[in-house]
A and B are shown apart, each in its own frame.
Chain A
Amino acid sequence: MSELLTELTDSTRSVLDSLGPGTAEETIWTQVVDLGWLLAGVPESLDGLGLGPAAVCVIQQELGRSLSAARYPAATLVIDALVAAGESPLLERLPLLLTEALATAPLVPPDIEISDDGRLSGTVRAVWSVDRASDILVWTNSDVLLVPTSAGALKARPTWDETRRLFDITFTDVNIDSGWRLAQGAAAETLVCRIETLRDFLLAADAIGGATAALESTVNYLTERKQFGRPLALFQALKHRCADLKAHIAAAEALFADTLNQAESGFGQPQAALLAREAKLLATAAYTEAAEEAVQLHGGIGMTAEHPCHLYLKRAQLNEHLGRRRVSDELELATCQFS
């Protein structure tokens, strides 16, 4: 990791550590905005920091580590799409988005259709904090739109992961205003690819952060907790379990860094989306494994609501289902090998 990114990791972590676990969404969001974390990926020409997707992911990794409620990935997807779409009247809204980020995006592909006469219908699932957003980013294969949330009907999607507030929003025959359009046709295809690539990398980053924290907490617990007159960490069987987790997480991290590096030059290309999907698959699998093991290795206390183990478990399990399409990701990756 470059020195810059290491510094970013450290400073992000120290902010989050000082806020402590379970910080309320709006409190943490004020920090995200005030500290300029939304600027990380924005080019310098647009008054951003120009640090690219790697920096955005570093921030999300730390937010994931602290099980943060901040809708950073959702807001970042909108900002990135606006910037990538280039010159459009919508770009004028960027400064506002960067200071308040009143826009959000879904974490799974939207299930929407646009009719020939330009009407939008369908349900967009798993949208982070859409109740607090003015606009939502939605897409089909040939259109990318920033739609006012007032055009749709909201329904809460309460999940077991209480660290994130998700909603579904349904549009019924909504007349599309041309001012909502970010891209169309071939340009939209590229932009969609870019959105989904960044989303999957952000989910991978969240998973790596969470997995690392779950493992750390387990190692600490096993070191402190005594049974049979010795710390549990003295049992080799348990050390090996932690070592396996460490290796799994390290592999996920290595793949993440490598795929991100390969993808960075061509973020709108289908190849980049596949790379991101690989990174996401391995990272979310490492997260669920680390979280599942955390509960098991904590014993009875891991099954209590007051201990944070279950927060990792629930967030990890939800992550496995975010970013998924109808066809299994695994199947699609394998299929690519035959084409």
Chain B
Amino acid sequence: MSEQLRTEVRSWLENNVPAGWREAMTGCDQDAFVAAQRDWFFKLVEAGYATPHWPERWPGGGRSLAEQKIIYEEVARADAPRLILYFVALYHAACTLMECGSADQQQRFLPGILKGDVWCQGFSEPNAGSDLASLRTRAERRGDVYVINGQKTWSTMAQYADRCLLLARTSSDGRPQAGITYFLMDMRSKGVSVRPISQITGDDEFAEIFLDDVEIPVEDRVGEEGQGWAVAQATLASERGLTLVELTQRMRHSLGRIGEVMRARGCADDPVLRAAFGRLIPQVHAACALADGYLQKRISGEEVVGDASIVKLYYARTLREFVRLGQQISGLDGQTMEEFTRGGSQETGNWAVDFMNSYNWSIAGGSDEIQRNIIAERMLQMPREPRDWRWQKGA
């Protein structure tokens, strides 16, 4: 049964992965990238391979865990483009809606995702990054709407988004978490403006969102007022299971790329580089095993606090080692500013850019340091940092 699915997916991918997509996506502008992502997304949706993690009543949904894994392994093996533009829609938005959305909200928004609505995540603010609970964007109830004022930042692909998963403060009483409410915001609402931020790669894949008296209908609130923090946890958890299976599988398949570059550069026999390669291999395989094991635990309900942090931290560290080796083997020529490939995995072979992008995984979605805090304090039960502190600069 599973072998049959594997054969099916493999042959579908052979016939459908756009030929030469890497070349086409290298040095192209963002609009061409968006168009290509759309085409690939619709193909995958039609074949039922974009939504294996959705419930059975949705097209493509209802796949067992083993089947989902097979699909991701094959996608990685075929080196198909990643659905970066739809990442938030397919995972964060969909999982949040299914877990915490009302039946009405599911009916209103999930079909739109399958029709290509792009979603972005509006959680972080200039002064609320790791300390998300301190966010200050305000939502004030006025009759049937909430009126939103504030600023979001680092929102991936916000400039292309139709909708936004938004956290805003409805109350300042009690614990900071208690006053947060979760909204589904239409990015075309009056008062929303987006400014793309230029990144160190020269790309501008994230953006600031300014919110000036934006009205959101009450029916687009997820959960009750003040329950946003719990809903946000569901959103964040969604990127931790399957996504890391996909990413670690892609990393495993990219090991071959290291070998290729070493051969091409005539350094395949360099003992220093070979040994470094040898050190990386078990780490990559371990990252795959951790991601697989974690997914099993999640499905069987055996997950404990800290498990997800270990997978993300280990993946981020291993990815950094991977791209570091890529830079090392590509030598001086690897420092040449070359046009980068959009929609590739984290290991596109443009190692300088891959290195810069590896920070996505060590900073975003709970940084390495935050994962370490969770492992130490909540898994290993070590005491938290003291709440009280006193310090004066220069004293």
Binding site for B on A (CB under 8 A): 108, 125-126, 157-162, 223, 226-231, 234-238, 295-296, 299-300, 302-306, 309-310, 313-314, 317-318, 321-322, 324, 327-328, 330-331
Contact flag A295-B272 (CB < 8 Å), given A161-B335, A231-B391: no
Q: Which of B219-274 contact A (CB under 8 A)?
A: 270-273
Q: A160-B352, A300-B154 are in contact. Are A328 and B270 (CB under 8 A)?
A: yes
Does B336 lie within 8 Å of A310, measured CB to CB? Answer: no
Q: Could you list 13 examples of A-B contacts with CB < 8 Å?
A: A228-B134, A230-B391, A236-B385, A237-B372, A238-B369, A296-B359, A296-B363, A299-B129, A299-B367, A303-B360, A303-B363, A305-B198, A305-B199
Which of B270, B352, B373 is packed against the most chain A CB atoms within 10 Å? B352
C-alpha gap A305/B327 in the complex (Å): 21
- In the complex, chain A residues whose CB is within 8 Å of the CB of B153: 300
B355 at the interface (CB under 8 A from A): yes
Cβ of B336 and Cβ of A159 under 8 Å apart? yes
- B385 close to A235 (CB less than 8 A): yes
| Known contacts A305-B199, A331-B271; A159 and B363 CB within 8 A of each other | no
The prevalent SS among residues of B at the interface is mixed
Which residues of B are found within 8 Å of A303, using beta-carbon distances? Answer: 199-200, 356, 359-360, 363
Query: Is B143 at the interface (CB under 8 A from chain A)?
Result: no
Whether, in the assembled complex, B362 has its beta carbon less than 8 Å from a beta carbon of chain A, the answer is yes
Asked if A300 contacts B335 (CB within 8 A), the reply is no
Contact digits for B343-364, partner A, Cβ 8 Å, 1 yes 0 no: 0000000001001100110111
Distance in angstroms between the alpha carbons of A302 and B358 in the assembled complex = 13
Q: Which B residues are within 8 Å of any A CB, using their own CB?
A: 124, 127-131, 134, 153-154, 197-200, 202, 270-273, 327, 331-332, 334-337, 352, 355-356, 359-360, 362-364, 367-369, 372-373, 385, 389, 391, 393
Note all chain B residues with C-beta closer than 8 A to A302. 359, 363
In the complex, the answer to whether B134 meets A331 with C-beta atoms within 8 Å is: no
A266 to chain B, nearest CB (A): 28
Assuming A231-B391, A237-B372, A302-B363, what are 8 further A-B pairs, CB within 8 angstroms?
Answer: A159-B336, A228-B130, A234-B389, A295-B359, A296-B367, A300-B129, A317-B335, A328-B273
Query: What distance in Å separates the Cβ of B369 from its nearest Cβ neighbour in chain A?
Result: 6
Q: Which residues of the other chain, B, contact A158 by a CB distance below 8 angstroms?
A: 336-337
- Measured CA separation A79–B360 after assembly (Å): 45
State whether B363 touches A300 (Cβ < 8 A).
Answer: yes
Which chain A residue has the least Cβ–Cβ distance from B352?
A160
Beta-carbon nearest neighbor of B334 in chain A: A321
**Do residues B356 and A310 form an inter-chain contact, with CB atoms below 8 A?**
yes
Partner of B134, one of A229, A235, A309, A310: A229
Closest to A227 in B: B131
Q: Is the CB of B331 within 8 A of A300?
A: no
Task: List 4 A-B pairs, minimum CB-CB distance, nearest first.
Answer: A310-B200, A227-B131, A305-B198, A321-B332
Of the residues B134, B356, B363, B393, contact of A299 by C-beta under 8 Å: B363
Inter-subunit contact B335/A296 (CB<8 Å): no
A residues in contact with B364, CB < 8 Å: 300
Contact between chains at B331 and A321 (CB < 8 Å): yes
**Complex interface: chain B residues within 8 A of A322 (CB):** 332
B366 CB to closest chain A CB, in angstroms? 11
Q: Tell which of B130, B131, B134, B200 touches A304, judged by Cβ atoms closer than 8 Å.
A: B200
Whether A324 contacts B391 by the Cβ 8 Å rule is no
Inside 8 A of A300's CB, which chain B residues have their CB?
A: 124, 129, 153-154, 363-364
User: Measured between alpha carbons, how far is A314 from B201 in the docked complex, in Å?
Assistant: 10
* Alpha-carbon distance between A236 and B373 when the two chains are bound, in angstroms: 12
Q: Of A227, A234, A236, A300, which is in contact with the most chain B CB atoms at under 10 Å from its CB?
A: A300
Known: A157-B336, A223-B393, A237-B372. A313 touches B129 (CB 8 A): no
In the complex, the answer to whether B131 meets A317 with C-beta atoms within 8 Å is no
**Choice from A230, A317, A328 contacting B355 with Cβ under 8 Å:** A317
CB A10 to nearest CB in B, in angstroms, measures: 23
List of B residues within 8 angstroms of A321 by Cβ: 331-332, 334-335
